[in-house]
Structures are given as structure tokens and as C-alpha cells.
Structure 1
Amino acid sequence: MTITELPYGSWPTPITSELVTAAAVRLGEVRVDGADVVWAEGRPAEGGRTQLVRRTADGATTDLLPEGRNARTAVHEYGGAAWWVRDGVVWFTDWADQRLHRLEPGAEPKPITAEPAQPRADRYADGDVSPDGATIVCVRERHTGPSAADVRNEVVRLAADGSSEPEVLVSGPDFVAAPRLSPDGTTLAWLQWDHPSMPWDDTLLIVRDLASGEETVVAGGPGESVLEPRFEPDGSLLFLSDRTDWWNLYRWTPGSDIAPVVRLDAEIGVPSWVFGSARYARLDDGRIVYARRREGRDGLAVREHDGGLVDLDVPFSAVAAVRAAGPDTVVVVAGTPTAEPGVHRVDVTTSAIETLRAPRDLGLDPERISQPEHFTFDSVNGAGEQRRAHAHFYPPTSPDWRGPEGELPPLLVEIHGGPTSSATPVLSVGVQYWTSRGFAVVDVDYGGSTGYGRAYRQELLGEWGVIDVADCIAAARSLAAKGRVDGDRLCIRGGSAGGFTTLAALARDDTPFAAGADHFGVADLEALAADTHKFESRYLDRLVGPYPQARDVYVERSPIHHVERFTRPLIVLQGAEDEVVPPNQSEMIVDALRARGTPVAYLLFEGEQHGFRRADNIRRALDAELSFYAQVLGFELPAQEGIEPVVVENLGS
């Protein structure tokens, strides 16, 4: 095979924006219903809607929702756990009206909650069906006005067939999640927390005897985050807690002390941005299968009857869900560095894998796929003290092309959202879109990221806009110092919270970055504190400081107040219907840069919320960003792709 020399960034590649979106799906939650497996697919080609797919024991698959239906909830705006299933019946929240619907086999969906006074004012999520199938407990979020103060979150109970009005079981806490019924239906467990805590900060796990009303606080409180309560057949309760720095697994038995079940220096839990996380599952014989993250990568393991922990020999690097599916098997949504997530059945005795819903066949030569290299590097905190941070590095990779002799590749510093989240080392065609063209990519797990314990997660408290920026700069400089990337062509990109870090990194007199791409990022922290949804309305109290008492910190860290420092080109991409980071956040920074004569490009996508879901918009956003870098860094676009150039205002002026 002949390898031809071409400038980095300009390499022709089969990994186009069309391939990124063609037949693409976002696999979500998975459930086991008898011998059937049901999973959720987000489909960009269908306007981004979430379809539910049932796979029967004979391998046949069926789409469950009629055309136009979308199983997606707006609770907390981020949603999750918008559907659940029992004995062939599916209950789901429809995105259009946010009412709860019941779907029986062969029938049309039927709403089982009333139309609220205002459209979409009552929203439902995270349900559990009673053992006798007669009732449902779930989270209801009720909006009675336009502000975050007008939102009430409750646990309600209603008849599974819609024959009764929802009865409020839990009200008062700012937030509730994970209502779960005991096997005999007599006890309810749930999680709750109050402002300014987020669910990864401080939560309470409470159980209530439904007959007497007697309540017991099982775990949680200041300094402890509890996740994923799940009853066992004997009435004991499993849950995840970070009481020893890592989200590990524990068991509570009424009348007894809490006992550790799985203790290790690795993370089982994940931050509850969405409802319905499922990182462990109990098999019928009492063994527990769990996903755990160590050194930035997931794996699967089993807790045996004798308490021994055995890692399974599986290739997965990212596991999104684990569900029991028989005496010796689990069903997982998982991917690898060379394969997108799929739905797989894993035999926990042999580690054998049966694929139920294969990742799409990209038709790519494995030599074209850049695989992540996890590395740890030196950085600093806000006080200038030395500390260590983490990242995944993807080198430019192609079997057809190489860069010119003596030239190093440009670097894209990728910043995950959240900011309480993590980089995911699974095949992303969006990353390969860049690496196959000659870009290097580094996905940074800056201080505050999850997967490295509570202490690392808390490094961001009071330091957002400081530690994350320091770690992104340090990662880029570390790679440049090692001779792996061109230190004069460092670029930075991120969405949402990552967009804020992008802007903050560019709003520095000493920024090392040559350009940046901001996807629906925060420009004004004050505006975000005053104009965002309830779930995140007090998030900044801990990341920045209480508002308005710490207003001076908000002003100092808001990129909008430092536009005089912006000298590097910026592209901004924004959804017109974003409720999390409204368009005015992007428009403020764009208008300021236009006025200053700083090179800037701006694209507003109609019909998009927080994160782009429609295939045509995903394609345009990717290609526009590539066109932006080509103009700024000075390389030619591959002519055969026919990419529409983006207008970069003030470039060359």
C-alpha cells in the first residue's frame, strides 16, 4: 500500500460527516422483559426521536412506538428513564406532551395521565411497577410557572392502567429520584437531595413502610452521594455510595448495619445527569455483576458468593447499562475502542458474548481507527500547587496518508460536558472524523471529572473556569513538549460546560490555543445563574460560589467580561431551543467579538435543544467546524466531500 504525503488536516477520508450520521443511533437504556430484551435508540435520521425496540427470544426485532412517538422525558431537562416495561406492556413519557402513556402489545399508545393546565407542565420519569402489576411509582415534575421556583419534584403513585389520579407519596425535597418498591410491595425506597447539592454531592436514601408511614434514613447526608437503590428478594437493599471516596456497592438489611458488598479503588457509579443508571445487576443466585471504571476505562466484573471479585475477559471500555438476563447472563449496552456501543448478552461464567443489537457496520479498515492512549500529566490548581490530571490521547491515523517530513499534527483539545462527567474511551466516529484527517485529539478528564474518586471530583469545587482550563492547557503543552503535536497549532473545542472551558481558555492573554470551537457554551456565568432550569439552578453555588454573594468571582470568570483578551478565531454553534444554555449566551460572545474585529463564525440551528440530534444539523456542525479550522490553520479541504465553507467574519481583517 502506498502512503502519500499531505498536510495534516487535509487528508481525504471515508469518515465523512455523512458516515458520522448515516444509520447512526444513540443506544440508551436496556430492559429485560421475560425472554425479551427491550432497548432505546435515539435516531438522528428520524429527527432525533427515541424509538423502543423489542428483541424476542427467536432474534426477531420490532419497533414498538408508532411513527411520530418519542420516548423522551424533560424531567431535569436531561431526562432519562422515560420508559419501563413489564409482561409485554410498555409505559413511556412522550416528548410532545410529557404525559405518561401505556402501550399494550398490538395496540396504540394510550395516555394514562391527565392533560395538565399548561402544555408539558407535568412530566414523568423513572418509574417502577408494583409486584402485582397494578400500580406505578415514578417521579413527577410539575411546572406551575416560568421560573425554577415554580417547579415541584415529587414521587407519585398511580394505577398502571390510568384508572386513578396520581397520588403524591413524597413531596418537599427539591429533588427526588429512583423510587423503588420492595418485592412484596410494602416498602418504598427513594433518593432525595436539596439545593445547592447535586446528586453527586449529597443525597439521602430513605425507605418508608407504606402501611404505617414510618421512614428510615438508610444512608447519605452531607459528604455522601448515594445512587441506584435496588431491593433484593429478601427485602434488603443494595445501593452505591462514595462514602469511602469511590462509588462502591453496599447492602442495607432492616435491623442491621450497612455492609460493604463490593469495595475497590474504582468507580461503579456514574453521575446522575439522567435518571435510570444501571451499573450493576443481581443474578438469581445472588452473584452481582457490575461495571467499574479504573484509569479512565470501564470493565465488567462479578462479585461471587464468597465475596471474591472476578474481572470478566471482555473487550468493553465503556459500559452504559447492566441488566440481569437469566441465571448466568447479563445484558449490557457497551462499546470498545474499535466498536461503537451495541447491546450484548454476556455469560458471566465463560465471558462469552452474544450480540443482540450490533453496532453499525462502518466498513472501516481497523488501521484507520485511532485508539485512545490514557495518560496522566502534571498540572496545577488555582493556588498554583502541583497536582496530577488525566486524559485520553488519539494520534492522527490513516493507512493512506502521512504528514510532511518534519511537520507535526495540529491538536484538538476535547472537553467533555457536565462539567461533572468524563471522557469516554469508546469508538466515536466524531473523534475519528478528525484523526483520520490528520488531527490529533486529546480528550481531557480534568479535575472535577468522574471515574477517579470523590476527591478528584471535588477538585473543581470553587474552581470551575480555573482547574479545567489549567488541565486543558497542561495536557496540550505536555503533548507538544513530547513532540507529538505542533505547539503552534493547538485548538480547543467543547460543548455546554466544555464550551465554557473553551471560552475561558481563549479569554486569556497567555492562551496557547490558536483557535476554538464553542458548542452551546456558557459565556456569562451570571446569566446562567439567573436563567437556567431548576436542576442546575444552584449548581454554580459550589463550582463558582453562592450568587450574588460571590458576584465578583462570576464576573471575573465569565468570558463575556474579557472580550478584550479574545484574539484567536472562534466558531460558535448553538441550538435555537436550548433551555439549558439559551441562545443569548452564545450571541453575547459572538456580538462582542464581531464588535472587536476578532475572527468569528456563528451557526444557529433551528429545532435543536441542548445537543444536536438531527442528522442534517450534526453534519453541518462538523463540516462547518472543519471548514473553520482549514481557513484558520491554512490547509485545503478534500474537494470530493463538497463541504460548504463557513463564513468566518473578520478573518484577515
Structure 2
Amino acid sequence: MSHSQIAPYGSWRSPITAALVATSGVSLNDVALDGDDIYWLEGRPAEGGRVVIVRRAANGTIADVTPPGFNVRTRVHEYGGAPYTVDQGVVYFSNFADHRVYRQQAGETPTPVTPEAPLRYADMTVDRGRNRLICVREDHSGDGEAVNAIVAVPLDGTTGQQVLVAGSDFYAHPRLSPDGTWLAWLSWNHPNMPWDAAELWVAPLREDGSPGTAERIAGGPDDAAFQPEWGPDGALYFVAERTGWWNLYRWHAGNVEALCPMEAEFGLPLWVFSARTYAVESAGRLVCTYIERGEQKMATLDTQSGMLTPLTLPFSDFGFSGPRAANGRVVFIGASSNTPSTLVMLDLASDALMTIRRSMDIQIDPGYISTPQVVEFPTEGGVTAFGFYYPPHNRDFRAPEGEKPPLLVLSHGGPTGATSASFDVGIQFWTSRGIAVMDVNYGGSTGFGRAYRQRLDGRWGVVDVDDCCNAATYLAAQGLADPARLIIAGGSAGGYTTLAALTFRRVFKAGASYYGVSDLEALARDTHKFESRYLDRLIGPYPERIDLYHARSPIHHIEQLNCPVIFLQGLEDRVVPPDQSERMAAALRTKGIPVAYLAFEGEQHGFRKAETIIRALEAELYFYARILGFEPADPVEPIQIDNL
């Protein structure tokens, strides 16, 4: 400390630049095993956000599978996920540009197996015995809502697709039994989201491959089913919520049994098709991840005794794509508070851990990394909420005596989602500059049981806002933040929480909304099918409770918003259209409140391009500096701030 320079919080020079945040690494997702080969997806901001399938061969050689010009993504449910599968060295994937499914054999050019049509595909599995893919299809050819179904797609590229299951609003996780005689799947209907009431169905397959009489074995109101997987012995494993917690179950010989009852979450909200929490390693053992009081762990589960054995690993977060396991080895993506996402392979017999791929090749000096602290704080109604507090940390700087740091409160998206303590270089961008961060798991977040998640039912824009405000005031009361320099930011649903907190409370001095919701009624009218009835539970039925939609929409209460806001928006966003940000910015501009609005061509719901990520992050820093009155250590390209 004696060699540290003294500089105000916010003005510390940091090696963690916006360019480093955007270009230093890749995203790792959706692991698959095919014999001794390991496959995964890499999202590459430096390639315009292109997603590529990568393969590690048994001999250790790593190479791209997807050739240039192809982008492995799907827009089923808009959020996509599970855009590929692999079987005996042949890869099948959804191409983002045309939504067609392509077949690619090793070393060959991909060839389409689906027609040119307004159809989207996801969550594929190969039915080898019938030479077909079974997958979720979303049909956008009609004038009304898209039509979802589970279909069979011939692998030879012929056009005759067979509809296997239809009639429900949504489907996910079609899973074929090892002997090819049974099909399992999830389905749910408006106004439910999958974490509200997804049902698990099974049906025998006839000789022509069509399902016979289907039986519902789990799920429904207050019991959302999740992730069916077949074991080698014909048992079907799944996650259900019968006790108020997502726990593991098994269906075998017509009977359902709980495997390991406990107050922990073995499931996740099904925002993307690739969400998984466990793998069947053998008939007698599962490898699973679970969340207990907001902390994620990995363990093996003996399927006969129910014994859960936690694994000792250098990771505290395992993401949403879960483990893959076979023949005594486990492949997964792990992270910790100081370790970026890393693809690793674990030998269950020897506990040997092999690193396959790091999301970041650049090593950041620990002297610039802030370690999160778990915080449990009081909130409205006499209950508690949770979050992770990141103090300012930079080995080269310290603040003047007596100065308290600005605090950036982060409200995660969803709102049915959660944040974790895994390494986030974006958070370190702020803390290494002398700005504290509080990442809040407000009421409605997952990882704390169904009751905690249901705190938000009918109270979106109230409970989440209260919890973010109380997190900030609690830390300020502890002397960990300057009460006069509290700011809030969030994206999507977190952007709505941000705007509602700035409009209806007097806690924060400024905020940043990334593609956030400002008009709940417009969202209910204009958003895509997957979320078109989401607000029925979070707010109330529309239009019957239009009074609540207006009462909680910041756009209708602009007279109450008197602090500066920066809006950052993708112009091709179908989830939260640009109009939501544009109207809000225009209203603030007219009112005379400092406001900035940045729109990005070619970006959708969530920024993927390196140049966008860099510009947005630097713009947000510049905005806070001008509003809170600190000088960034390095030059930042100015943005236009109206009314400043």
C-alpha cells in the first residue's frame, strides 16, 4: 500500500479495458460427447459474434468444425440454445442466417437437410435406427403466432417431415430411449413459462416412428418438470418441483421415485434449450450440479443408494449447459470468482482434472481482481434477499482518506434468472477503476427454491426494485458505498428494474438501461410468442389489469424520473423492440433531464459484436464520469449527453 498512488474512486487506471472485455476471450457453451471426441460451442465477439462448433479429437487435437460463413445458432423461442447435435462423427446444426439444419461429415462442406422455408429448429437428437432427426420445430409461415411441434426430419434431405407431437404451445427436450422404442418430451401452454408448469410426457413409438398413447408422468401447476434423460437401463431421469425445490427423480417400470430429496435446486429456468444440470454417467451414477443458498456445486449421485458425494473442484460455478459424462469421465465448463469459464475433463477414478479450453487466454494479474463477498440483506416484508458485493480493488491505487466509493448495483435479466459469483471481466472493469459493484439476486431469482422465485408473482416492478434499492442502502449504511453516488444498471428485464427503480424510488443518482423495458403494455402486445404471456403472472392478466401495466411502466410516469439515464439498444431486437428505449429517451430529452441514447445496427437482444461491446462499455463509463464528477484515468471517446 505504501507504493500505491492516491486517486479518487472511479479515476484509477486499469489494464482491464473495454477492448479486453470484448476481445480477450470467447464464450463456451453446449458440450457434447461422441465416443472419445468432445465438442462444444464457441461464441466469438472478434468474428462479429459468430458461434462455431469446435472438436477435440481423442488424440488431443483441437480444431474448428464449422467452416467460415456458417454461424451455429437458432432462434426458436428467440433465445435459442441447443443448436446442434453430433452422432458417430457427423454433426447436425442450425445455421443462423437461413435457419436451415445442415449435415456435416468430417472434412466436408455442410449440406442442408431441411428446406428453404420460414421454419426454425432446435434441441435435436439423432434417431439412428430410423435415419432421422427428432427436434423442436417452430413454424413462422402463418400470419399469427408461430406454431411449435416436435418433428422428425429425414437425414437424407428429403422434404417429408413427420409431426410427432403437436397441440401444445411449446415443446422442449425431446429425448429418445437408448433402444429407440420410447420418446420423452416437455410441453407447456400459455400463460405459463416452462418454470411455472412444464409437463413431462412419455410415449412408446410405433413401427412407423409415430408416438403411441402418451402418458404425463410429472409436471403441471406448481410442479415444473425439467431435463428428461434416459439411462442405459431404460430408466428415465428428470427434475421436478413437487416439494417446492427442483429435485431429481426416476421413472422406471411405471413408478416414479425421488432420488435425493433436499432443499436445493437441481433445475434451472428453461430460457434456452441447452440448459442442463446433470448427466447420466452409467446405470448406477449421475453427475449433477445443484444450487444451495445461491452457491452452485457439483456432485456424483449413486442412483441406488441416493448418496450424494460432492466433488472437490476449483470451481464455484458450472453455468447453465451442465456436465456431460460417460465411462468414468466428466466434461463440463467451470468458473470461479477468479477463474474465467474453462472447459475441463475430470477422471472420476483418479480425480485428475485436464484443461481443454479457456474462455480467456490472457491472464489478468490478481492484483486487479476483486473477490466477491456473499451478502444477505434485509428487505421489505421482513424477509432477506441475496447478492454478491465486489469492493473496489486495484493494486496500484487507493482512494483519498475518508472517501467512499460509488456503487454500481446490477439487476440481472429474466427476471426469472440468477447471478453467480463466477469470474466476470465486465464486473472487474468497474472494480479495478474504483467503482464497487453489487450484483443482486432479488426476489424472483432462481437458486433459492420456488417460494423465493414466486415472490415476484404479481409484483414485478415492486419486489425486484425494493431489493435493489435495499441492497444499495444496506451497503451504504455499512460504510461500503457513498450514499450520494449510487447507480444502477441492467439489461432486458434488468433494464426494466433499473428504469423502475430510477422512476419510482429516490435511491440512485443515475442508471444505464441495456435494451430495457419501459412500457409493460407495449411489451405484452408486441413481444415474441415465448414471452407473450409471461407478464400474466408477473403483473396480471392483460388487458384486464391494464391499470397495473400503466401504474408500473416508467414511460407513463416520466414526471417522477429526475435523474440521468443512458440507454443502449440493438436495432434488430425482437424481444424488447427499440421503441421501448427510444420513447423513454425522447421523454427525458423533452423534460430536460441528462440523457444519452446509443443504438447499434445489426445487434439483437444482447450484444455480440466486439465493437458494440467496447463502445457500450466505454459510453457507460463516460456517462457515469460526467454525472458523478470523476475523471477516467484513460481517454474515452465522448458521447452526446443531452441536457447536461
- Corresponding residue of 1:81: 82
Superposed, which structure 2 residues align to 1:295-310 within 5 Å?
Answer: 295-304=293-302, 305-310=304-309
Query: Does the Cα contact within 8 Å between 2:232 and 2:282 map onto a contact in 1?
Result: no
Q: 2:356 is aligned with what amino acid?
A: L
Match of 2:122 in 1: 125
Moved more, 274-283 or 95-104: 274-283
Equivalent residue runs for 1:157-306 within 5 Å:
157-211=152-206, 213-256=212-255, 258-304=256-302, 305-306=304-305
Distance in 1, Cα, partners of 2:488 & 2:274: 32
Aligned counterparts of 1:241 and 1:531: Cα–Cα separation in 2: 32
2:9–2:406 CA contact under 8 A, matched in 1: yes
Matched position secondary structure for 2:530: helix
Query: Is 1:430 equivalent to 2:426 in the alignment?
Result: yes
| Secondary structure at 1:589 match in 2 | helix
5+ residue gaps, structure 2, are: none
Q: Determine helix, strand or coil for the equivalent of 2:129.
A: coil
Residues 387 and 325 from structure 1, CA distance in 2 versus in 1: closer, same or farther, beyond 3 angstroms? closer
Matches within 5 A, 1:408-423: 408-423=404-419
> Alpha-carbon deviation of 1:276?
2.1
Using a 3 Å threshold, how does the CA distance of structure 1 residues 222 and 512 change in structure 2: closer, same or farther?
same
Contact 2:512 2:567 in 1 (8 A): yes
Counterpart of 1:347 in structure 2 is 347
How far residue 22 of structure 1 moved from its aligned partner, in angstroms, is 2.1
Question: 2:480: which partner in 1?
Answer: 484
Q: Where in structure 2 are the equivalents of 1:276-425 lying within 5 Å?
A: 276-304=274-302, 305-320=304-319, 321-380=321-380, 385-425=381-421
Q: 1:441 aligns with which of 418, 437, 440?
A: 437
Offset from partner CA, 1:183-202 (integer Å, 9 cap, x none): 11111111000000000000
Structure 1 residue aligned with 2:602, among 607, 622, 646? Answer: 607
Paired with 1:645 and 1:27, the residues of 2 have a C-alpha distance of 33
Q: Measure, in 1, the Cα distance between the counterparts of 2:469 and 2:310.
A: 35
Contact 1:88–1:104 at 8 Å: present in 2 too? yes
User: Are residue 556 (structure 1) and residue 551 (structure 2) matched?
Assistant: yes
CA offset at residue 209 of structure 1? 1.2
**3-state SS of paired residue (1:492):** strand
Which whole-Å CA distance do the structure 2 matches of 1:377 and 1:645 have between them?
Answer: 37
SS of match in other structure, 1:341: strand
Residues 567-614 of structure 1: CA distance to partner in whole angstroms, max 9, x if unpaired?
111000000000000000000100100010011000000100000000
2: CA distance between counterparts of 1:524 and 1:483?
36
- Once structures 1 and 2 are overlaid, which stretch shifts more, 94-103 or 317-326? 317-326
Contact 1:314 1:351 in 2 (8 A): no
- CA distance in 1 between partners of 2:351 and 2:268 (Å): 24
Report the Cα distance in structure 1 between the residues aligned to 2:350 and 2:288, rounded to whole angstroms: 16
- Stretch deviating more after TM superposition (343-352 or 481-490): 343-352
- Is contact 2:114–2:157 with CA below 8 Å preserved after alignment? yes
The more displaced of 323-332 and 575-584 is: 323-332
Match for 1:457: what amino acid? R
Aligned partners of 1:31 and 1:323 also within 8 Å: no
Pick closer, same or farther for the CA change 1:416–1:225 going to 2, 3 Å: same
Matched position secondary structure for 1:419: coil
Looking at structure 2, the residues matched to 632 and 402 of structure 1 have their Cα atoms a distance apart, in angstroms, of 22
CA contact (8 A) 1:434 1:441 kept: yes
Q: CA–CA distance in 1 between the matches of 2:642 and 2:278?
A: 50
**Residue 57 (str. 1) matches residue 42 (str. 2):** no
Q: Residue 114 of structure 2 aligns with which residue?
A: 113
TM-score (norm 2): 0.97
Q: Hey, what does 2:48 align to over in structure 1? A: 47
Deviation at 1:255, TM superposition (A): 2.5
1:328 Cα deviation (Å)?
1.8
CA distance in 1, matches of 2:147, 2:339: 41
User: After superposition, what is the alpha-carbon deviation per residue over 1:404-439, rounded to whole angstroms, capped at 9, x for unaligned?
Assistant: 100000000001000000012111110000000000
**CA distance 1:475–1:351, change in 2 (3 Å):** farther
Aligned counterparts of 1:18 and 1:563: Cα–Cα separation in 2: 35
Kept in 2, the 8 Å contact 1:290–1:302? The answer is yes
Deviates more, 1:415-424 or 1:308-317: 308-317
Query: Following the alignment from structure 1 to structure 2, what is the Cα–Cα distance between the partners of residues 281 and 646?
Result: 48
Aligned residue identity for 2:510: A
Displacement after TM superposition at 1:131 (Å): 4.5
Distance (Å, rounded) in 2 between the aligned partners of 1:297 and 1:108: 43
How far the C-alpha of 1:306 sits from its partner, in A, is 2.7
Offset, 1:285: 5.0
* Contact map agreement 1:131 1:183 (CA 8 A) in 2: no
Determine the C-alpha separation between the residues in 2 that align with 1:324 and 1:261. Answer: 19
Does structure 2 retain, via aligned residues, the 8 Å contact 1:296–1:374? no
Q: Tell me the number of residue pairs that the alignment of Structure 1 and Structure 2 aligns.
A: 637
SS in 2 for 1:618: helix
Secondary structure (helix, strand or coil) at the match of 1:165 reads coil
CA–CA distance in structure 2, aligned partners of residues 571 and 312 of structure 1: 44
Residue 527 of structure 1: SS of its match in structure 2?
helix
CA contact (8 A) 1:268 1:290 kept: yes
Q: 2:614 — aligned with what?
A: 619
Q: Distance in 1 between matches of 2:316 and 2:324?
A: 20
Q: Unmatched 5+ residue regions in structure 1? A: none
State the partner residue of 1:643: 636
Please say if residues 297 and 317 of structure 1, whose CA atoms lie closer than 8 Å, have aligned partners that are also in contact: yes
| 3-state SS in 2 of match to 1:319 | coil
Separation in structure 1 between the aligned mates of residue 499 and residue 556 of structure 2, nearest angstrom:
11
Query: 2:137 matched to 1:144?
Result: no
The alignment-based identity, stated in percent, is: 51
Give the 3-state SS of the residue equivalent to 2:588 in structure 1: helix
- How far the C-alpha of 1:326 sits from its partner, in A, is 3.6
Q: Is the 8 A contact 1:137 1:158 kept in 2?
A: yes
Shift of 1:264: 1.9
3-state SS in 2 of match to 1:200 = helix
Structure 1 stretch displaced more, 1-10 or 468-477: 1-10
Amino acid at match of 2:113: I
Q: 2 CA distance for matches of 1:530 and 1:285?
A: 48
Aligned pair partner of 1:134 in 131, 135, 141:
131
Trace 1:561-576 onto structure 2 (pairs within 5 A): 561-576=556-571
Q: Report the AA paired with residue 369 of structure 1.
A: I
Provide the rounded CA distance (Å) in 2 between the counterparts of 1:620 and 1:359.
21
